[in-house]
A and B are shown apart, each in its own frame.
Chain A
């Protein structure tokens, strides 16, 4: 089956630094990837849609200058949390589809970000 790989699985950083999270589609090409954020005991919240070769589309309330998304190839999208603060601590998850618009989402295993 389709595999989406995320790296790192967890990261701890100091307040004010930047952190990059990678999302790779291992056995398929993904022109579109989706980035979610999940706080403890809460549901997944869509942050942005990452489009290969073009700018990402951010959901309302998500700061595009803080959460930089780059989708430079058909198998790699990156999310950079810039100038991280403790309130950015969360579980970040990427996903992608194989094929057509209504095909199921395949999720990475997530990245636990802790900002101290």
Chain B
């Protein structure tokens, strides 16, 4: 059962890159890593998913080292609308969300 650990909060400014690292030491061989974004009073929204190395889509990049014990979500050039809680989820059978990281973007 993989437990995830993330920083509780991060502050940034518009236009900067934000990197959030999640630790998941007990990740199993078949588990994928998925990141979600949640705004207040809304359901989480899928951002990106990966298994190893690097994955990039139109909104973010995900870096996963060879040992897969951590992963880093990279949000390029954030804007005020990126202020949200970000969760990494190790997709095992328990689907347990960690505490998440509150990212606050300031002007």
Contact = CB atoms under 8 A, between A and B. Distances in A.
Interface of A: 4, 6, 34, 36, 43-46, 91, 93, 95, 102, 104-110, 112
Contact of B46 (A34, A91, A104): A104
Contacts of A6: 43
Interface residues on B, range: 20 to 34
A44 B44 contact: yes
Which secondary structure dominates where chain B touches chain A? loop
B42 A109 contact: yes
Given A34-B95, A46-B94, A46-B96, A107 B45 contact: yes
Interface of B: 30-32, 34, 36, 41-46, 49, 87, 89, 91, 94-100
Contact of A102 (B41, B43, B91): B91
A110 B42 contact: yes
Contacts of B96: 46
Nearest to B98: A43
